[in-house]
Structure 1
Amino acid sequence: MKIIVSASARKPGCPWQVQLDQHVVSFRSEAEARAFVDTLQQRLRAPHPLKQVG
């Protein structure tokens, strides 16, 4: 997954955005955007046990 944090003039109340491939999430501050990315990356790196079917 490609993750990009950038400033944006599209939404004056939420000038920061995080792009997750084709999906964009807006934030009020750079700190909020980066905290979101940190949490997301921790969750992606976390172990995910696969359930056995059968």
Structure 2
Amino acid sequence: MKILVRPTTTPKGSCWQVCLDQHAVSFRSEAEARRFVTVLEERLKAPHVLPDWSRRIAS
């Protein structure tokens, strides 16, 4: 996943966007945008337990 932090201007004024591939999330400040990216990357790197589908199918 490509993550990009960039400044942008909207009719409501200036803000910062975090672009995740083709999706964009807007923030009031660069600091808020970078905190979001930090949390997102930590969650993506965290271990994830996948469900055991063989048990669910057998039930």
Question: What is the TM-score with the length of structure 2 in the denominator?
Answer: 0.83
List alignment gaps of at least 5 residues for structure 1.
Answer: none
C-alpha displacement of 1:53: 1.2
Query: Which structure ranks higher in relative contact order (CA pairs < 8 Å, sequence separation ≥ 6)?
Result: 1
More strand by share: 2
SS in 2 for 1:40: helix
Larger Rg: 2
SS in 2 for 1:48: coil
Two-structure CA RMSD over aligned residues (Å): 1.1
SS in 1 for 2:53: coil
% identity of equivalent residues: 58
